[in-house]
Amino acid sequence: SAGWPGIINAYRDRVAVPDGARIVTLHEGGTPLLEAPHLSELVGCRVLLKVEGLNPTGSFKDRGMTVAMTHALAEGSKAVICASTGNTSASAAAYATRAGLTSAVLVPRGKIALGKLAQAVAHGARILQVDGNFDDCLELARKTAAEYPIALVNSLNPVRIEGQKTAAFEICDVLGRAPDVHCLPVGNAGNITAYWKGYSEYAADGVVEAAPRMFGFQAAGAAPLVHGAPIPNPETIATAIRIGSPASWNGAITAKTDSNGLIDAVTDEQILDAYRLLSAREGVFVEPASAASVAGLLLTSADGRLPKDALVVCTVTGNGLKDPDTALRDMPEVEALPVEPGVIASALSLG
Ligand code: F0G
């Protein structure tokens, strides 16, 4: 096929799929590693953004989903199920469609961003809104998959992690080395686990000299890894990471410990500040959860934990179009103008 072939074909030797499997792909991955001049200036480091919102369904989940769906199809599954704060369900719905499978998605009622719900509807997923939070949904999805012939495509499924680790490969392949520090938002903790696996594999095989320090950031109202215990009623504006009991708890702690990194919390205010800075100063529109990585960059720069002159990558995990409601909160009240050029010029203070 023409152009970037998707992460399974790009990393055939490092991402295992069943022999003879039909690869279910939307040509995910190959996302930009973008210089962030304003952030670089602010923190005194070279800061790059791994822009995962440019994946086919607008988030990093597609990297894991191509592998999960390829396995599900090869194993003869007819249906897949997942719990989701929105992005996993959008991705599962699209890739299931591509595979010719049915998808069922369990989402917390009223707590999923509009764009994500729209995607699940558009791709024809069976949407089950649950009167509970993400953690309740995951428990239900897990139990259903254990008892019925339906494949679980959450990151509890280790093949999801295998796909998501390719983002670390891409970064190293572009830079010719690993960064010194990698900042990520953390919710269910699959992604930090996956990046650490990817960097560790490259380091172990001598593709890069050393793996980066992993800096993970949770929302302050949903920061079980920071508090050291599950949070029964997590709350944050960043609905994607509104998770109280991360499935990959151990993976996150290993990434932190083995990389001499850290996991900390950022407030909703810090998340929104970073969200606005990314769109207004870097030209990169992300969803709120994605901005947690940049909020954490600014936090650790301010308190001295971020080393000066480091090479830093921040993953921005999802596209801003996912959550139009949050963006529109910043829209000023405006009245419609008459169809007159002079009025437009004076409204813009040009006349
Ligand atoms: N950023 C975005 C945009 C996400 O959608 C998620 C997780 C994360 C960060 C955190 O990644 O869970 O691997 O630590 N979204 C999941 C979902 C939970 O259902 O879409 P994580």
Residues 85 and 227 in one domain: no
Which residues sit opposite 278 in a β-bridge? none
Residues 275 and 195 in one domain: yes
Whether residues 111 and 258 share a domain: the answer is no
DSSP assigned state of 208: S
- Whole-number Å distance, alpha carbon 25 to ligand 1 midpoint, is 20
Residue closest by Cα to atom 3 of ligand 1: 318
Task: Indicate the residue among 126, 156, 186 that finishes a domain.
Answer: 156
Q: DSSP E strands: which ranges in the chain?
A: 33-35, 46-51, 79-83, 102-108, 126-130, 151-152, 181-185, 213-219, 262-266, 311-316
**CB distance 108 to ligand 1 below 6 Å:** no
Closest CA to 236 of 108, 136, 53, 55: 108
Pick the last residue of a domain from 156, 185, 216.
156
Q: Are residues 212 and 272 in the same domain?
A: yes
Q: Nearest-5° angle of CA 60, CA 33, CA 174?
A: 110
pLDDT at residue 350, as a whole number = 87
| Whole-angstrom distance, CA of residue 197 vs CA of residue 203 | 10
Domain span at 321: 7-59+160-328
Cβ distance 26 to 94 under 8 Å? yes
Q: What's the gap in Å between 100 CA and the centre of ligand 1?
A: 25
- Of 111, 138, 156, which residue sits at a domain end? 156
192 and 224 housed in the same domain: yes
Of all protein residues, the one whose alpha carbon is nearest to atom 10 of ligand 1 is 187
Question: Using one digit for the tens of pLDDT, what is the confidence trace for 107-135?
Answer: 999 999 999 999 999 999 999 999 999 99
Q: Residue 1: its pLDDT value, please?
A: 57
The verdict on 81 and 133 lying in the same domain is yes
The per-residue pLDDT of the chain, averaged, comes to 97
Is the CB of 241 inside a 6 Å radius of any atom of ligand 1?
A: yes
CB of 120 closer than 6 A to ligand 1? no
- The sheet carrying 213-219 orders its strands as 33-35, 46-51, 311-316, 181-185, 213-219, 262-266
pLDDT in tens, 255-292: 999 999 999 999 999 999 999 999 999 999 999 999 99
Residue 282 gets which letter from DSSP?
Answer: I
pLDDT tens-digit series, residues 21-39? 999 999 999 999 999 999 9
Total tally of structural domains belonging to the chain: 2
Q: Are residues 207 and 218 in the same domain?
A: yes
In ligand 1, the atom with minimum distance to the C-alpha of 194 is: 13
CB of 318 closer than 6 angstroms to any ligand 1 atom: yes
Ligand 1 pocket: which of 191, 193, 196, 286 to mutate (most atoms within 8 A of CB): 191
| Cα pseudo-dihedral 331, 335, 341, 345, rounded to 10 | -50
41 within domain boundaries: yes
- Average pLDDT (226-247) is 98
Model pLDDT, residue 294? 99
Pocket flag, ligand 1, residue 185 (CB < 6 Å): yes
What distance in Å separates the CA atoms of residue 275 and residue 65, rounded to the nearest whole number? Answer: 26
Q: Write phi, then psi, for 124 (nearest 5 degrees).
A: 75, 30
Q: Is residue 104 part of a domain?
A: yes
**What number does the ligand 1 atom closest to the CA of 116 have?**
20
DSSP secondary structure of 283-340: ---B-GGGHHHHHHHHHHHHTT-SPTT-EEEEEE-BBGGG-HHHHHTTPPP-PPPPS-
| Residue 198 shares a structural domain with residue 309 | yes
- CATH number where 287 lies: 3.40.50.1100
**Same domain, yes or no, for 146 and 275?**
no
Cβ neighbours, 10 Å, residue 301: 20
Identify whether the C-beta of residue 96 lies closer than 8 Å to the C-beta of residue 150.
Answer: no
- SS3 (DSSP) at 104: strand
